[in-house]
Amino acid sequence: MKKLFAMMLSIAMMVTVLAGCGGKTATPDAPAEPSTQDQPADVQEPAAPENDLGGYPDHNISWVVCMNAGAGTDLAVRKLVDIVDLGANVSVENIAGGSQTVGCIDALSRDPDGYTIISMANSGLITQPIMNPDLGYTLDDFKMIAMLTPECTATICVSNSSPIQTWEDWVAFVQSKEDFTYAISGAGGYGQLGLINVLQQLDAPQGTLVGYDGGAGAYQALINGETDFAILDDNAVYSHFNEGECKVLGTIYSSRSYYLPDVPALSEYGLEDLDVLGGWKFIAVDADTPDAVVDYLSERIIAALETDEYNQAMQEMGFGEFNEVLAGDDLTKLMEDTVVLYTQLLKDAGLM
């Protein structure tokens, strides 16, 4: 046993001598790291801070437009996509149908991870869910990012040959005649709801709606004498008005139209509750999208909406120019107020 121990000791000494030979000065060993075994069991190394975005975005983003290609909302989205930098490629998907509900349902069926952005208008976001509760979604299923375009406003228009030539004429007409008719581009839209609100405040009958496929059809019906008056969007009628082809008696809104600055808003005649009667186009995401991702998208999208390039394009498309971009909680509050008013107006009109 002693011989074995002596042999092992000799070998260890030889290894030490060999390690010291080689012509270089040995570098002292670095201080040893403290052993985690010596730490109390409940002490842990601090975790590295995590990125709230979780690596977002790391693949393509889809922007679902709930209208056909070439519609105003589609054109505005495509212009915005050309300008905004979201850190990933953005592809526009047109999913139309069901007064915008098909696109909304499709977008909400996807993962709420920020890789699907949605654009729709009043009908898809507000009117249709109120009228059709079986759709399976409401305003609460969206997080609002911003308005896509400046608001449109509905106007009350008459032909030059009409006996109605002033606001006072129109009020006397609707208050005294049970069976008047009016042209509009679609039932249940913000223009009809605005008119219902006005007629209720004037204690006038509702008259008879004559619907047409688009504003152009409604305008032609007015000019051809097929209806007593028409409800038309300001950005659709202003060129006819400026050329003296028709008269615009007022805008159904709380402030004057960008395109019709000389035409009184009906609030100037004492009518109330008009703030939520604009025609709007929206940018939103699924309500379950992480807040950090929503903040990331909002910051970049709003910055793009405020650029001169985008606002110039909006003017050229007939949408006007943003005085300010309504976004986030302010936009959500406006939509919540709109749902309350629209619900009552739709009930009063017998549409639900």
pLDDT 10s digits, 306-351 = 999 999 999 888 888 888 899 999 999 999 999 998 898 888 777 6
Determine the Cα angle at 134 with ends 120 and 183, to 5°.
55
CATH code at position 209: 3.40.190.10
Instruction: Decide if pLDDT at 1 tops 70.
Output: no
Specify the pLDDT at position 161. Answer: 96
228 within domain boundaries: yes
144 with 285, same domain: the answer is: yes
Q: Is 50 part of any domain?
A: no
What average pLDDT does the segment 154-182 reach?
96
**Rounded mean pLDDT of the chain?**
85
Question: Does 287 map to a domain?
Answer: yes
210 against 45, higher pLDDT: 210
Domain assignment of residue 158, given as a range: 154-269
Is residue 122 classed exposed, middle or buried when 0-12, 13-18 and 19+ CB atoms within 10 A define those classes? buried
Q: Is residue 40 part of a domain?
A: no
The amino acid that residue 194 corresponds to is G
- Kindly state whether residues 209 and 165 are assigned to the same domain: yes
pLDDT in tens, 258-292: 889 999 999 999 999 887 788 899 999 999 999 99
Last-in-domain residue among 269, 294, 327: 269
- Sheet with 229-233: list strands edge to edge: 208-211, 181-184, 229-233, 154-159, 246-251
Residue 14, domain member (yes or no): no
Beta strand 281-286 with 142-147 is: antiparallel
Rounded distance between C-alpha atoms, residue 259 and residue 241, angstroms: 10
Q: In this structure, is residue 77 part of a structural domain?
A: yes
Q: Which residue has the tokens 């807040």?
A: 291
202's tokens: 């004037």
Residues 106 and 139 in one domain: yes
Is residue 20 domain-resident?
A: no
CATH code of residue 72: 3.40.190.150
Using the 3D structure, point to which of 269, 302, 330 is the last residue of a domain: 269
Shared domain for 146 and 158, answered yes or no, is no
Using pLDDT thresholds of 50, 70 and 90, give the confidence band for residue 187. low
Domain boundary (213, 234, 269) is at 269
Query: Bridge partners of 250?
Result: 156
CB atoms within 10 A of CB 78: 16
* Domains contained in the chain, number: 2
Q: Is residue 331 part of a domain?
A: yes
The better pLDDT of the pair 211, 147 is held by 147
Confidence band for 43, pLDDT divided at 50, 70 and 90:
very low
DSSP 316: H
Q: Do residue 337 and residue 194 come from a single domain?
A: no
